Copies of this chain bind each other. A is one copy, B any other.
Amino acid sequence: MTRGENRQILLQRRPDGALRESDFALAASPMPEIRAGQFLLRNACFSLDAGFRKWMNAGADDNYLSAMALGAPVQSIVLGHVTESLHADFPVGSLVLARASWEEFSALDGSDFAQKLEHDGSFPLHEFVAALGPTGMTAYFGLLDVGRPRAGDTVLVSAAGGAVGSVVGQIAKILGCRTVGITSSPEKCRWLTDELGYDAAINHRDPAGLAAAMRETMPDGFDVYFDNVGGAMLDEAVRHMKLGARVVLCGAIADYDHNDRESGMFHMWEFIVKRASAAGFMFSDYVARYPEAVRDLSQWLRDGRLKSVVDIRHGIAETPKAFCDMLSGASRGKCIVQL
């Protein structure tokens, strides 16, 4: 029996600054054969997460992940069904969220992140990589645990219409906060206030400047900044902190294309005079508390108080464009490739 092909998206070359579709290549390798202790996942969705951009750089090894290898399939969080299994914990038919790659089939052994999910059909499958998946967990624990907002607080969100940002803004409203979102066009600003419930929106490309827009939308500053961007936007934001403000460091897109020496922080002094703090986190540290987040998030989805915003692209060949669109702000909400 021929096992056929396994189409993959390879990291063809190291990105030089801003990512381009030509940094990737579609290829086909033989279908993987599983060994004892492994299972074969037929991938249904790729979760496109901006953070993975960082590990495409040479020497990007850190204590979390290694730099991706050139010519190898690109690492990603994926959602799939087990179609063959030699692993007792992952029988055929299981729905699994795992760290794998942009490929149709992945042979895994469960030693890296791999979580078996229950799926009773009450939400569409893709929701498990969106509001009920890593995106939702990141928004929930980052905002509640690191940001610690109180009702009445002003919560500023960057990449406010992106995967995590769109959930953070809505949770903050549910908690009784005033929300201000930063996005990249007047159209997206209108969408933030009209559809996602933000109290105010800032277009960071507005020629009037970010500083003026922050002063206008937050005359007294913010209590919490949920930061998905880093760099110069973070540097400007810290000049608008209230006393005791908390900055949630969730993403640092500005650091990923690391040849931009202007995208730095030059106002750390503000943290001193404002007695403010900044803290990073990873959703994967909260595994033990996922049920609490899933309970709240699925209730809010059912109530209609939380809208899940997804941008679904179809077919593995669309993955490079989808990932570039997400990083450049051309997508809204969670960007997902469905196979």
Interface residues of A (CB under 8 A from B): 51, 54, 62-64, 230-231, 234-235, 243, 249-252, 255-256, 258, 261-282, 285
Question: Once the chains bind, are B63 and A273 in contact (CB under 8 Å)?
Answer: yes
Docked Cα-Cα span, A230 to B235, in Å, equals: 14
What are the residues of chain B within 8 A of A277 when measuring CB–CB? 277-280
Question: Which B residues touch A235, using CB under 8 A?
Answer: 264
Q: Are B234 and A268 neighbours in the complex by a CB distance under 8 Å? A: yes
Bound together, the chains give a CA A243 to CA B234 distance in angstroms of 23
> Within the assembled complex, what's the spacing in Å between the Cα atoms of A256 and B273?
13
Return chain B residues, CB-CB under 8 Å to A266.
255, 258, 261, 263-265
Distance between A220 CB and nearest chain B CB, rounded to angstroms:
11
Closest residue on chain B to residue A271 by CB atoms: B280
Contact A273 B280 (CB under 8 A): yes
Q: How far is the CB of A90 from chain B (nearest CB, A)?
A: 28
- Taking a contact as CB atoms under 8 Å apart, the answer to whether A272 and B285 are in contact is no
CB of A69 to closest CB in B, whole Å:
19
Inter-chain CA distance A63–B54, complex, in Å, is: 36
Nearest CB to that of A60 among chain B residues?
A: B269
Q: Which residue of B lies closest to A230 (CB)?
A: B268
- The answer to whether B279 touches A251, judged by C-beta atoms less than 8 angstroms apart, is no
Which of B275, B278, B279, B282 lies in contact with A273, CB distance below 8 A? B282
